[in-house]
Structure 1
Amino acid sequence: MGWRLIIKKKAMTKILNERNVKILQAVLKHFISTAEPVGSRTISKKYLRDLSPATIRNAMSDLEDSGFLKQPHPSAGRVPTDRAYRFYVDNLCKIPKPSHRDSEAIKKKLESNRTEAMETILQSSKVLSDLSNQASIILLPKFANITFKRIELIKTGAFQVLVVFISKSGVVQNKLINLKDDLTQDKLDSISRYLNDQFNNLTLREVRKKIVSTMKREKRIYNNLLKKAMELIQKAFIEDEIEGDFYIAGTTNIFDKPEFSDDLKKMKGILSAFEEKSKLMYILDQCLKEEGTSIIIGSENRIHEMQDCSLVTHTYKYGANVLGTVGIFGPKRMEYPKIISLVDYTANILSNKLSDS
């Protein structure tokens, strides 16, 4: 694991002097690779041979008092705390590029011209899970954020219409709506042509604003076609906000990790958390607001059952329009430089693919 820290001056304190940072780094390196608590003798023998076990032991005690290390039980060595992981992540000197093997695997999965947009988005989650050996999660494009390309209206029965929305990025959304009037397919085709002419290249959020503005301005709409179009699109795009959704791949990878494989309670807690859709959506929405990379470590996560894990995400786009976020979810002792690199690269390749479609 070839990473190192460059400590910003403002982060240096009496406890986090150069020597103690090296010891903290050694503890992190050992625990990330082994999942085992580590003592001063091991640190001295394997990582810092120029320091005696006694010197390291005193420094580890100081780091524990300062909240960077803890002992799982009195006779054990030390392990990093959430504060240690946060300090480490905030002071990473450089994020490496993915290996040639990993970058080629990502491009092969996502750059194929044969797959549809939504399938490409789902594939990004699958390839991240495979390459990281962790769980992956992707926030799918929210209906309000995608850009209008074309709409099709298909009569499915009396007073019932299937609205097929096709975005610029190739994402397709369907919605079945009920109407007050029983419109013919010819009438629906005329409405489709009107809507496609009026709302092309707008996001659904912009479509909603334009509809509301038009309906306020035209209190007495003289054109029957316009009236029917406005009523229909209001039902499709305004009355019921389509809730966001996400996709998770590779959950079994988490349960192969030592910290979870022997702890049934933790395993059940994580599975339960994956079913808490509203809470997960809240966290992913927060990541979506932080354009670029977001890292949530342990207790920073508001879902209690997920506080033994970390989440690394990066937003993906269609052009300049943010569509969603893709990320990796796993134990706090993940290899952050590698994980950040994989997530960032995948998000960028996905964005390019969607924008070029």
Structure 2
Amino acid sequence: MDTVLLGEREQQILKATIHTYITTAEPVGSRTIARKFQLGLSAATIRNVMADLEEMGFLTQPHTSAGRVPTDKGYRFYVDSLVDLPALSKAESARIDAGYQTTLHKEIEELLEVTTKLLSLITQQAGIVLLPRLAYMVFKRIEFVRLHPKKVMVLLVTQTGLLENKVIELDEDLMQEQLDGIARFLNNRFAGLSLHTVRERVAALMAEEKAQYDTLLQRTVQLCQKAFLDEEQEGEVFVGGTTNIFKQPEFVSDLEKLQAIFQALEEKKRLIQILDACLHAEGVKVLIGSESRIEEIQDCSLVTHTYQYGDRTIGVLGILGPKRMEYPRLISIVDYTAKALSRVLSAE
């Protein structure tokens, strides 16, 4: 929509201004644009166009005597106009691939922690990975271990290797043989389904008249209710490399901004809500400044991409850094990492 408002000259000057600001972290003046870019325009003409861009909300002037910097609207135009993203250098792609070579046959949590570290090291931003929601993981196997009378440990394994365990209290005491029978019933009937689907199927069992007379079904339903199938798991997110944000010029001298960003990353709840919304995006998604709706990180951008197990989307990874980030390169890194992680998960 905004590209309709801008002529070719305005677009060229806006892109040049944003590119220069990303590189220098300093407000950009018309003389700088005239000198660095061969646009065939005088500094005075460029200054007038920059004033128009400011009036339209694409640029802003921090101080009267200073040059101009992009607004969220300006960055959005810049990101949306990116067409040909640069391929990663051989060194960068090899570094990502090598990072995953050491994760073969590891638990999924370890694999995702490695991903967080890789993203933060290569991009020099904060690396972020949203862990898979248990409810949407594919059920592989469940086991019950009798610990004490009426106390049982539930062990749940998903197809990605995610292991969840929980100790529950029962209304009646069940022997290990009975628990094994319930586990066999669940494994035979529900293996290969998502836990969300399993929960729906168990709820359907409760509604069946025969369940009222079948002791095994009754115990199965009650046991499942007390285990994982009656709960919505809270999301979990790994965040690494936050000190990279603190090194950025726009934050070095602003302790208040740093504290706000750090607090938002520590709380994680609102960050998880934003990442949950990114689960439904195709490809790379970029949230700029206020688009995240988290006030404490309105000076940052979030670049995300979903990752998969087979053909099933199970989580989100990405980076968080200042709005003044090298979008083309960082988008390419996030895209490559998401695809590499998906390959590793699917090969497990």
TM over 0.5: yes
Structure 2: distance between partners of 1:128 and 1:285 = 19
Match of 1:326 in 2: 317
Name 2:333's counterpart in structure 1.
342
Q: CA deviation at 1:181?
A: 1.5
2:261 alignment partner in structure 1: 270
1:219, distance to aligned residue in structure 2 (A): 5.3
Alpha-carbon distance in 1 for matches of 2:292, 2:71: 14
C-alpha contact 2:224 2:230 (8 A) present in aligned 1 = no
State the match for 1:55 in structure 2. 45
Q: 1:353 aligns with which of 339, 344, 348?
A: 344
Aligned to 1:3: none
Equivalent residues of 2:127, 2:320 under 8 A apart: yes
1:89-124 Cα deviation digits (max 9, x unpaired)? 111111222221111111122244242222112211
Distance 1:188 1:156 in 2: 11
Counterpart for residue 12 of structure 1: 4
2:127 touches 2:241 (CA, 8 Å); kept in 1?
yes
Q: How does 1:72-151 map to 2 (within 5 A)?
A: 72-111=62-101, 112-151=103-142
Residues 1-357 of structure 1 aligned to structure 2 (within 5 Å) = 11-13=3-5, 16-48=6-38, 50-111=40-101, 112-218=103-209, 220-357=211-348
Supply the distance in 1 between the matched residues of 2:237 and 2:122 (Cα, whole angstroms). Answer: 20
Larger mean Cα displacement after TM superposition, 220-229 or 238-247 = 220-229
For residues 75 and 273 of structure 2, the distance between their equivalents in structure 1, rounded to whole angstroms, comes to 23
Contact 2:300–2:322 (CA under 8 A) maintained in structure 1: yes
* Displacement of 1:220: 4.1
Q: Would you say the 8 A contact 2:198–2:229 is kept in 1?
A: no
Q: Deviations over 1:140-166 (max 9, x none)?
A: 000111000111212233322221111
CA distance in 2, matches of 1:210, 1:97: 46
Question: Hey, what's the Cα distance between the residues in 2 that align with 1:231 and 1:49?
Answer: 73
3-state DSSP of counterpart to 1:37: coil
Equivalents in 2 of 1:208, 1:198: separation in Å? 12
CA contact (8 A) 2:205 2:211 kept: no
Match of 1:5 in 2: none
Give yes or no for contact 1:118–1:170 (8 Å, CA) kept in 2. Answer: no
- Identify unmatched segments of 5+ residues in structure 1: 1-7
Q: Report the 3-state secondary structure (helix = DSSP H, G, I; strand = E; otherwise coil) of the residue aligned with 1:289.
A: coil
TM-score (norm 2): 0.95
2: CA distance between counterparts of 1:36 and 1:192? 63
Compute the RMSD of aligned alpha carbons: 1.6
Please report the TM-score for the alignment, with normalisation by the length of structure 1: 0.93
Q: Tell me the distance in 2 between the aligned counterparts of 1:95 and 1:49.
A: 23
